[in-house]
Amino acid sequence: MNVMAPPGSRNSVESRLIEEGVLQGQKNITVLDGGFATQLGCHVEEPIDGDVLWSARFLATNPQAVIDTHLDFLRAGSDVIMTNTYQASVPAFMEYLKLSEEESFNLIKSAVQLARTACDRFLEEYPDSTRPKPKIAGSVGPYGASLHDASEYTGSYAKTTPVEVMREWHRPRIQALVEGGVDILALETIPCRVEAEMLIELIKEYPQVKAWLTFSCRQDGKSIAYGENFQDTVRRCYDLNPQQLVAVGINCLAPRVIEPLITGLNKNRVNKPVPLIVYPNSGETYKVDLGWIDREKCEPLDSYIQNWLNLGVSWVGGCCRTYAADISRIRNEVTKWQQKQANIDKNEQVIPNGDRT
Closest CA to 302 of 275, 324, 330, 322: 330
Closest CA to 196 of 220, 172, 230, 219: 230
Question: Between the CA of residue 86 and those of 35, 45, 349, what are the distances in Å?
Answer: 11, 21, 48
> Is there a contact between 44 and 65 (Cβ–Cβ < 8 Å)?
yes
Closest CA to 78 of 328, 264, 256, 344: 328
Residues 6+ apart with CB under 8 A from 26: 309, 312, 313, 314, 341
Residue 83, Ramachandran bin (φ over 0: left; ψ between -120 and 50: alpha; else beta): beta
Closest CA to 66 of 86, 83, 49, 87: 83
Q: How many Å apart are CA 81 and CA 143, to the nearest integer?
A: 22
Indicate the residue type of 3: V
* Strands 285-287 and 291-293, sheet pairing: antiparallel
Question: Between the CA of residue 263 and those of 10, 219, 280, 311, what are the distances in Å?
Answer: 19, 15, 16, 6
Say if residue 217 carries a ligand binding annotation.
Answer: no
Q: How many Å apart are CA 233 and CA 284, to the nearest integer?
A: 26
Say if residue 319 carries a ligand binding annotation.
Answer: yes
Say if residue 42 carries a ligand binding annotation.
Answer: no
Q: How many Å apart are CA 242 and CA 138, to the nearest integer?
A: 19
> Is there a contact between 252 and 284 (Cβ–Cβ < 8 Å)?
no
Q: Which residues are annotated as a binding site?
A: 252, 319-320
Q: Which residues are annotated as a binding site for Zn(2+)?
A: 252, 319-320
